[in-house]
Amino acid sequence: MAGMQDVIVPQAEGSPEQTETRVFCLIVFPQGIEEAVIEILDATGVPGFTQSEKVTGRGSRGRHYDNPIWPGADGAIFTVTSPDQAAEASAALVELSRGLDQRSRGLYGVHVFTWPCQQVS
């Protein structure tokens, strides 16, 4: 499998050869704390995001299929930011997750995943 340094990204015609490095962030959180997550994004200057209000599945904190057997669902936010904004938002989201984890005795938390990316169009 090719490493990241081996990936060739096609450039759109007329686009600059060098593009600013950005960070793609995926944030998965319990539906009930959506406002707190968005407040963190606003406070850290994240310019925009795409949101999915109901995601279901299973993971380290259990199963959430939004049905009577496995109640609950999560929300998810995708955003692309500068590296500094991603670091600041991630740190605040980790603190939010720690508090939520303690209050729920490990049942709920916030998951934050980041990848370097470039906008090509």
CATH numbers and ranges of domains, the chain: 20-117 (3.30.70.120)
Tokens of 67: 């049905």
pLDDT band at 90 (very low <50, low <70, confident <90, very high): very high
pLDDT at residue 4 above 50? no
Q: Cα dist. 8→5, 11, 53 in Å? A: 8, 9, 34
pLDDT at residue 8 above 80? no
Contact 80, 117 (CB under 8 A): yes
Count CB-CB contacts under 10 A for residue 17.
5
Averaged over 89-97, what is the pLDDT? 97
The pTM assigned to this predicted structure is: 0.81
Specify the pLDDT at position 2: 44
Tokens of 106: 């490990």
Contact 115, 51 (CB under 8 A): no
